[in-house]
Amino acid sequence: MRRSGKSVLAVLLSRNKIYARVNFDDERLMGIDARELNKVLEAIYSLKGNAEVIILDEIQNVPGWELFVSRLRESKKVIVTGSNATLMSKEMATYMTGRHIDLTLYPFSFSEFL
């Protein structure tokens, strides 16, 4: 679901830790594929040092991201956010078996907002 606060929640969950956040909705990352994700990780390390938590926002925009995240989570805490049903597919769940928490976030209703 778009515009429901997923990115804000991810940052709040990472508070008190060294974290890095990459937003794959950024036009400078359009067209990136899984083979280039290691370059993104190298950039994270050069900017943030040894970040404890890596937030990958809207990662579903990168074809083949699942294997990269599966490997990365062996050494880091990884938070993946997205607004695409692909993230909730059974195939994706096999990459994250046993080491993930699914959290569906909905936007506030008008009365909750008030």
Residues 101-111 pLDDT 10s? 666 666 667 67
Weakest-pLDDT range from 2-6, 81-85, 89-93: 89-93
Residues 19, 52 contacting (CB under 8 angstroms): yes
* Distance (Å, whole) CA 81 – CA 25: 11
Q: Within 10 A of 81 (CB to CB), how many other CB atoms are there?
A: 23
Q: Is the pLDDT of residue 90 over 60?
A: no
pTM of the predicted model, to two decimals? 0.75
pLDDT band at 38 (very low <50, low <70, confident <90, very high): very high
The H or E element containing residue 23 is: strand 19-23
Q: Is the pLDDT of residue 62 over 50?
A: yes
* Distance (Å, whole) CA 36 – CA 27: 15
Facing residues of 79 across strands?
55
